[in-house]
């Protein structure tokens, strides 16, 4: 069986082959290699040097300097550690050295200290 190819078919095949070769020659051929976005990379943080805390040292408390409390007479006034007494108030309350608390309490002698005056208008 001999295959006979007619001249018209052969001419058509040849025309198609030339047309395809010509179109391939005119076309730009691009070859692209797409690598893509790189994968995320985890980088370990740099180690941080934390020195040990300094030793705790407690300083002694600062010295307290206070003037001494001198109980007694200061000029014409008497200091009992709480308040100053005038000479008259001191002797009224303390009773001329006969012991403590011989006499009225402060503020209760002769007019209650409110300016009322004592007997005959004296203070």
Q: Residue 72's domain spans which residues?
A: 68-96
Q: Please name which of 60, 80, 84 lies closest in space to residue 70, comparing C-alpha atoms.
A: 80
Does 90 reside within a domain? yes
Q: Nearest to residue 103, comparing CAs of 88, 122, 113?
A: 88
pLDDT value of position 52: 92
Residue 7 φ then ψ, to 5°: -70, -30
| 82 domain-assigned | yes
121 assigned to some structural domain: no
Domains contained in the chain, number: 1
Half-sphere exposure at residue 14, Cβ-oriented, CA atoms within 13 angstroms = 7
The tens-digit pLDDT sequence of the chain (123 residues) is 556 668 888 888 888 888 777 666 666 767 788 888 888 888 998 999 899 999 999 999 999 888 888 888 888 888 888 888 888 888 777 765 555 555 555 665 555 445 544 455 444
Residue 58 lies in a domain: no
78 within a domain of the structure (yes/no): yes
Residue 6 lies in a domain: no
pLDDT at 123: 47
| Predicted local confidence at residue 117, as pLDDT | 47
- Give the integer Cα–Cα distance in Å for 17 and 25: 12
**Cβ burial 43-62 (10 Å sphere, 16+ → b, else e):** eeeeeeeeeeeeeeeeeeee
The answer to whether position 92 is within a domain reads yes
Specify the pLDDT at position 33: 82
Q: Is residue 91 one of the residues assigned to a domain? A: yes
- Provide the pLDDT for residue 24: 61
């Amino acid at each position: 069986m001999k295959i006979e190819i007619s001249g018209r078919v052969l001419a058509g095949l040849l025309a198609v082959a030339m047309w395809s070769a010509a179109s391939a020659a005119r076309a730009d051929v691009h070859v692209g290699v797409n690598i893509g976005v790189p994968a995320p990379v985890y980088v370990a943080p740099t180690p941080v040097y934390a020195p040990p805390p300094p030793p705790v040292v407690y300083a002694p408390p600062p010295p307290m300097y206070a003037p001494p409390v001198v109980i007694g007479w200061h000029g014409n006034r008497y200091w009992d550690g709480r308040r100053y007494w005038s000479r008259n108030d001191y002797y009224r309350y303390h009773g001329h050295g006969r012991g403590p608390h011989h006499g009225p309490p402060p503020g209760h002698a002769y007019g209650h200290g409110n300016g009322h005056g004592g007997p005959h208008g004296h203070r």
